């Protein structure tokens, strides 16, 4: 499993299929009160996977290209302060999970890649090295860009541990983009909370995650995480899941980062997602630099 870092996606697309948010019967009702927590956690994740076509969907998924746009918001006015698109290619291979990402920062063109064994970065076709920010962040960034499109399937990877933590309230208040709209009713007993931790040899960072499922729904409503070595909680509101390509592959088109008081700070928006394009292996190899 690759990096789960901050965990890192509004451009409207014409997707192959409309957004789907299937519901299921309250999964906790399927278990007695003495059911092992790991059984309940695995079953809740299983319902999420089943709602998206099962693990076979991910087995058929081999590559993708997409654009991911980071949007930074002013928390006082709610207005957009900055937008930054990145152009991404990912591919499964015998060498591992391959990723390439390109972006512009002003007049500088930055490319980063992970070959399955090592990583590289260039700025304006000149090689970067340790100590350069864009080189130091490659493994974290490329891991995220492969990991996010792999959810929820990657929660079944070896070295991923699921912990059912019972019915729990979400932290803080719910984000409301329309202040005139009535607040959504919270479940009286809270949300199903699933903690996710990782083995020592899985990924580069031991971030701690928690997924909140509203009873009766198969998709998470919110995801929180605490980065390794830190105490502050990052809140991520799950947006619509779009089904695209011949596989009807599920993509979360938007994720919103919010404060505990419900103010949006950042969004990650995915667009132009192409499933299983032909991508040359050379795309991911360390380029010849000037």
| Per-residue pLDDT at 42 | 92
Which residues have C-beta within 8 Å of that of residue 155, sequence separation ≥ 6?
45, 162, 196
What length does the chain have?
290
- Domain-embedded: residue 14: no
C-alpha angle 255-257-262 in degrees, rounded to nearest 5: 120
- Domain-embedded: residue 13: no
Domain count, the chain: 1
56 token code pair? 């076979």
The pTM (predicted TM-score) of the whole model is: 0.82
- Domain-embedded: residue 51: yes
Check: CB of residue 272 under 8 Å from CB of residue 64: no
C-alpha gyration radius of the chain: 19
Check: CB of residue 68 under 8 Å from CB of residue 268: yes
| Per-residue pLDDT at 50 | 95
| Per-residue pLDDT at 181 | 67
Q: Which range of residues forms the domain containing residue 55?
A: 27-283
| Per-residue pLDDT at 18 | 30
- Domain-embedded: residue 20: no
Check: CB of residue 27 under 8 Å from CB of residue 247: no
- Domain-embedded: residue 1: no
Check: CB of residue 22 under 8 Å from CB of residue 51: yes
Check: CB of residue 97 under 8 Å from CB of residue 114: yes
- In angstroms, how far is CA 289 from the centroid of its own chain? 32
Among residues 189, 151, 211, which one has the least CA distance to residue 29?
A: 189
- Domain-embedded: residue 52: yes
CATH code, domain with 274: 2.50.20.10
Residue numbers of the chain with a pLDDT score lower than 70: 1-34, 176-183, 201-206, 289-290
pLDDT in tens, 42-58: 999 999 999 999 999 99
Phi-psi region of 149 (alpha: psi -120 to 50; beta: other; left: phi over 0): alpha
Q: What is the DSSP string of 170-215?
A: PSS----S-TTSPPPPPPTT-EEEEEEEE-TTSSS---EEEEEE-T
- Domain-embedded: residue 233: yes
- Domain-embedded: residue 210: yes
């Amino acid at each position: 499993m690759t990096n789960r870092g901050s965990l890192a996606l509004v451009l409207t697309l014409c997707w192959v299929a409309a957004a789907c948010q299937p519901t299921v019967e309250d999964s906790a009702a399927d278990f007695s009160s003495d059911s092992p927590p790991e059984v309940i956690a695995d079953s809740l994740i299983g319902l999420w996977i089943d709602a998206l076509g099962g693990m076979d969907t991910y087995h058929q998924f081999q590559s993708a290209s997409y654009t991911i746009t980071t949007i930074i918001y002013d928390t006082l006015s709610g207005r957009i302060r900055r937008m930054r698109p990145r152009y991404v290619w990912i591919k499964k291979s015998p060498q591992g999970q391959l990723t390439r990402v390109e972006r512009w920062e002003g007049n500088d063109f930055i490319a980063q890649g992970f070959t399955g064994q090592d990583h590289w970065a260039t700025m304006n076709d000149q090689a970067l090295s340790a100590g350069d920010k864009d080189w130091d962040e490659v493994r974290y960034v490329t891991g995220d860009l492969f990991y996010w499109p792999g959810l929820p399937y990657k929660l079944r990877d070896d070295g991923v541990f699921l912990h059912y933590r019972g019915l729990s309230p979400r932290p803080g208040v719910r984000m409301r983009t329309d202040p005139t709209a009535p607040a959504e009713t919270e479940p009286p007993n809270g949300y199903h909370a699933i903690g996710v931790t990782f083995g020592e040899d899985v990924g580069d960072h031991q971030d701690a995650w928690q997924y909140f499922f509203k009873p009766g729904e198969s998709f998470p409503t919110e995801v929180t995480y605490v980065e390794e070595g830190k105490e502050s909680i990052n809140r991520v509101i799950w947006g619509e899941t779009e089904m695209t390509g011949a596989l009807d592959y599920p993509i979360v088109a938007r994720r919103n980062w919010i404060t505990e008081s419900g103010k949006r700070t950042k969004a990650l928006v995915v667009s132009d997602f192409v499933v299983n394009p032909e991508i040359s292996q050379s795309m991911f190899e360390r380029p010849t630099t000037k």
